[in-house]
Amino acid sequence: MRPLVLLALVSSSGLASEVRDCSEAYNGKQATCEVVPCSDKFKSFLGTWTGPFQIYSQQFSKMISYLNTVTYSEKDCLKNTENGELFIIGRKTDVYAPVLNEAGEVVQASVSKPGLMITGKDAKGERFLRTIDSEMGQVNYSPVFTDVAADLSIWQYNYPGDETNAPMNIRVIDGRDLSEVTGAHKRFVTITMQGSFGEAVGGSGYHTLRK
């Protein structure tokens, strides 16, 4: 395993830049990245996003609630020194509320699930989104639709299916709340699933940026 050491490279500006192991952004696969200035787009991410969400649980056959928090910092604007990917790492924590049965008894205690949300462009300028956590490993989403004026993006993951779930297309619809009058940056997120069963909403929520 490559040792976790900090190196220094000379950038095109002539200034030394930090280089570090960034294998976490590739689900443990060895990679080295240069810390780079955040683009204007990534600067709009910086800070902590927090808000309530719900997602459908197959285990409990109902929607369950959780608090979503994603933090972005300047030190996580990175460029892969080998493949040229430019991206920012969002450090995510989902804290699930206790799940109760019809009698009001706790059937699952509150649980916290960490993960990463990585947004970027490859060397060809193609946009990508991937998430990494202990349950799903690395999930790669492809862009489907973008409306710059509405600040809205749609991403899709083609889930291949497993022993208990049929193949399906999972879409993440992420858009800014343009009706927000307080000046806060608030974004709505909706997750849809489409397969042989039809189409259904698998999760939804919103989070607000706090600098």
Q: What is the mean pLDDT of residues 142-169?
A: 92
Percent residues over pLDDT 90 in the chain: 82
Residues 6+ apart with CB under 8 A from 115: 92, 93, 94, 131, 132, 133, 134
Looking at domain 38-210, its CATH architecture is Beta Barrel (2.40)
Where does the pLDDT of residue 25 fall: very low under 50, low under 70, confident under 90, or very high at 90 and above?
very high
Q: What is the mean pLDDT of residues 63-91?
A: 98
The whole-number pLDDT of residue 134 equals 93
With a cut of 70, say whether residue 12 has pLDDT above it: no
With a cut of 60, say whether residue 2 has pLDDT above it: no
Q: What is the mean pLDDT of residues 154-174?
A: 92
- Interatomic CA distance for residues 70 and 45, integer angstroms: 10
The whole-number pLDDT of residue 133 equals 96
Residue 97 vs residues 12, 69, 207, 211: alpha-carbon distances, Å: 49, 14, 17, 25
Strand partners, 47: 72
